[in-house]
Structure 1
Amino acid sequence: MAAARSPSTPSSNVLILDGGLGTTLEDVFHRNISTPLWSAKPVDEEPEVIIAVHLAFLDAGADIVLTSTYQCAFNTFDRAGYARADAERIMLESVRLALEARRRFLARGSGNNGARTPPRVAISLGPYGATLYPAQEFDGFYPPPYGPGARDGADKTNAFPLDTDAGRAQEAAAVDALAAFHLERLVVFAGDAEVWGAVDYLAFETVPLVREVRAIRRAVARLYEMKPGLAAKPWWISTVHPDGHSPEKRADARGGWVTATEVAESVLLGDDEDEATPWAFGVNCTALESLPHILKDAGGVAKRFAELHGRQPWLVMHPNRGDVYIPETQSWKGTSREGTPWAKDVGDIGRVALQSGCWEGIVVGGCCKTGPDEIAGLKQHRFIL
């Protein structure tokens, strides 16, 4: 259904995305954001620091900056003690700060800093699991009605048994509940004509479960059904593959992990009229070493997408830097792959993906622990793509 609302295609087939906004706030700007709102915390308290982070990435060469809205959802704001009206205000203000950073970047005479396109802004939308405590974007153990709710013991699972009628019914109800969750946020942004008109992309990030992918596609379709005159935006779903595979493990007789091919199929394929079709398939917050086999499998699905839709999808790839988070000490163990070395490795992987002929173009950037240095490295090594 969304294919009929085909957005304009960027002029370049390589676009540089920014890095990890939250970890850059911590590492470069030395802010404590360890609250339920994460990178949205400074929006009310220190809006200029949010603008400064966006400007740092634009100066480094980013073509696209993500808003500080990843953690923004009404249940997150409620846990942080905010009323609904304040939640909506902060969500919209987060976007306006990114737009203001873009305005300042262009107004100060630096033009587009050598970028192939003027800077663009993407609304960052995290999964339902990012609103939970502890966060569940890497495990996908969602409570009812969003998931089975079993997070402990021998029955620990993040999937319903789809070989039973009861399991299929629970899965369908969970998709509906997750679609309502995502639609609720989309309506806030689409309800402000100035904000919606100024942003360029919608970015659903770190999505761990196939049913949530389906729910997001359903939410986007419902948004345009509710608002038939609404301008369409290119959008993507970035999936997450911790430990090199999907975090979703089947609960039925088949067993095993959901494959990268099945994940890509859930994003790009399917003939459900209630589900919109995204502009791109993405992978984020996943180790570099895991990307080649994930992208190879996804590339096969992209070819099938092109046969069905008469156009190739874009690829969005923004892996983490490789640092390891240590829960016991709430600290990170660093990596020697920073700045230029990281950028070269990312560029090599992106070049292979783009040369496969499966994708129309690539959006490439960073996730956790990647900052302006890593993005500057990508910009510098852009030619290898």
Structure 2
Amino acid sequence: MDDNRIQQMIKQFQVVLLDGAMATEIEKKGLDIKDDLWSAKAIIDTPDLIKEVHLDYFKAGADIATTNTYQANIEGFKKHGWTDEDARHLMTKAVLLAKEARDEFWTSLTKQEKLARPYPLVAGSIGPYGAFLADGSEYTGKYDLSIEEFQQFHLSRMKLLKEAGIDIFAFETIPHFHESMALAQLLETAFPDTSAWISFSIANDQQLCDGTALDEAASYFNQHSNICAIGVNCTSVSRIPKVISNLKNVTTKPIIIYPNSGEQYDPQTKSWSKEQQYENFGVISKDWYKNGASLIGGCCRTTPKDIRHIKEWARDKNMGDGSNNKLKFL
């Protein structure tokens, strides 16, 4: 397996900051993403906006940029009229945008500023098969493929992301236990030198969307050395305390948490309703860390401001052995 960079970051800094939502930030900058490709539409129409959002999150304090490939895949682009070659180029382009943003940001820092934070990583986002269906299935898990079919669907884009230079994979919003098994097996056989985190899509604080018990799903991966962290994403912040407690009981791996704002998504209209369920992401995220989460960020409808609030406690306090400088910049 590749070097355990996530574990090294946690050992030195105690908490690793993820980024937040990409799609809703792109929307704020003027792109209509009410489309089957969702945020992946920006790779075609407005790639500069993707890089701009990545930079916004790095400046806010994020240690990891997640590529804008959650809903991007070759078949999806081809359905919209692009050739196979074009589709492969678009997948690669999404990684290059994240790497360019990372390099531009890192170059802008002083030597002292670089000592105060880990060197940022680029995580290749691999959304579930349900995201490709573009019908909200990532929140229901109501689809079923064989292990081999899941692997066949994911393999081509994983190869493209790896070849483009991602540091780790992010298997995210996975509602289907068999799909997570397929991804872990594929990682070990086709990408043995690369690690990944798995974050599940959950129906409640005890079950994946397909009905599998969360503790069963999480504990399954304890013996998979390539899986560097286990957790949940794109669920309500109100579920997070109980989820962390449940995960701590069954896994020794770092716990990764990045919920949405608590609003409700309608896959038909591709819009959000209700109000966010928190006032300050920094306040509640600090409790998640105290309770056992090591990788913390946000998902849909969260913002660079939310990540900055996490940074304010995660980097402005002396964490670890006292050798790290406090983050007082940006």
TM superposition score category, shorter chain reference: 0.7 to 0.9
Q: Is 1:264 aligned to 2:218, yes or no?
A: yes
Equivalent in the alignment of 2:275: 335
Q: What letter corresponds to residue 89 of structure 2 in structure 1?
A: R
SS at match of 2:71: coil
Q: What letter corresponds to residue 268 of structure 1 in structure 2?
A: N
Q: What letter corresponds to residue 134 of structure 2 in structure 1?
A: Y
Q: CA separation of 1:293/1:78 partners in 2, compared to 1, >3 Å: closer, same or farther?
A: same
SS at match of 1:325: strand
Select the residue among 183, 189, 195 that pairs with 2:161.
189
Q: Is 1:345 aligned to 2:317, yes or no?
A: no
- What are the equivalent positions in structure 2 for 1:35-184 lying under 5 Å apart? 35-109=35-109, 115-142=116-143, 146=145, 174-184=146-156
Residue segments in structure 2 that go unaligned for 5+ positions in a row: 320-330
Would you say the 8 A contact 1:213–1:266 is kept in 2?
no
After TM superposition, the runs of 4+ consecutive aligned structure 1 residues lying more than 6 A away are none
Q: What letter corresponds to residue 62 of structure 1 in structure 2?
A: A
Equivalent in the alignment of 2:177: 210
SS at match of 1:242: strand
Select the residue among 202, 220, 228 that pairs with 2:187.
220
Q: CA separation of 1:87/1:330 partners in 2, compared to 1, >3 Å: closer, same or farther?
A: closer
Deviations 1:242-276 (A, max 9, x none): 34343445xxxxxxx3222112123334xxxxx76
The CA deviation at 1:96 is 0.2
How many residues were matched structurally? 312
SS at match of 2:137: coil
Would you say the 8 A contact 2:134–2:267 is kept in 1?
no
Deviations 1:183-237 (A, max 9, x none): 22212233x3xx22xx322111000011011100111122136xxxxxx233111
Q: In structure 2, how many angstroms separate the alpha carbons of the residues matched to 1:374 and 1:238?
A: 20
Would you say the 8 A contact 1:138–1:247 is kept in 2?
no
Q: Is 1:370 aligned to 2:324, yes or no?
A: no
The CA deviation at 1:114 is 7.6
The CA deviation at 1:76 is 1.5
Q: Is 1:241 aligned to 2:202, yes or no?
A: yes
Q: Is 1:319 aligned to 2:259, yes or no?
A: yes
Equivalent in the alignment of 2:324: none
The CA deviation at 1:329 is 6.0
Q: Is 1:278 aligned to 2:227, yes or no?
A: yes
Q: What letter corresponds to residue 195 of structure 2 in structure 1?
A: P
Would you say the 8 A contact 2:139–2:209 is kept in 1?
no
Would you say the 8 A contact 1:67–1:121 is kept in 2?
yes
CA RMSD between the two structures: 2.4
TM-score after normalising by structure 2: 0.86
Q: Is 1:22 aligned to 2:19, yes or no?
A: no
The CA deviation at 1:352 is 1.1
SS at match of 1:184: helix
Q: In structure 1, how many angstroms separate the alpha carbons of the residues matched to 2:191 and 2:214?
A: 29
Q: CA separation of 1:330/1:184 partners in 2, compared to 1, >3 Å: closer, same or farther?
A: closer
Q: CA separation of 1:276/1:302 partners in 2, compared to 1, >3 Å: closer, same or farther?
A: closer
Q: Is 1:300 aligned to 2:249, yes or no?
A: yes
Equivalent in the alignment of 2:31: 31
Q: What letter corresponds to residue 222 of structure 2 in structure 1?
A: L
Q: In structure 2, how many angstroms separate the alpha carbons of the residues matched to 1:240 and 1:278?
A: 17
SS at match of 1:52: helix
SS at match of 2:139: coil
Would you say the 8 A contact 1:42–1:49 is kept in 2?
yes
Would you say the 8 A contact 1:316–1:364 is kept in 2?
yes
Q: In structure 1, how many angstroms separate the alpha carbons of the residues matched to 2:90 and 2:267?
A: 29
Q: CA separation of 1:302/1:288 partners in 2, compared to 1, >3 Å: closer, same or farther?
A: same
The CA deviation at 1:133 is 3.4
Percent identity of paired positions between Structure 1 and Structure 2: 30
The CA deviation at 1:80 is 2.1
Q: What letter corresponds to residue 285 of structure 1 in structure 2?
A: C
Would you say the 8 A contact 2:198–2:231 is kept in 1?
yes
TM-score after normalising by structure 1: 0.74
Q: What letter corresponds to residue 187 of structure 1 in structure 2?
A: K
Residue segments in structure 1 that go unaligned for 5+ positions in a row: 147-173, 226-231, 250-256, 270-274, 304-312, 355-361
Equivalent in the alignment of 2:14: 13
SS at match of 1:70: coil
| Higher-Rg member (1/2) | 1
Q: In structure 2, how many angstroms separate the alpha carbons of the residues matched to 1:113 and 1:322?
A: 34
Q: Is 1:290 aligned to 2:259, yes or no?
A: no
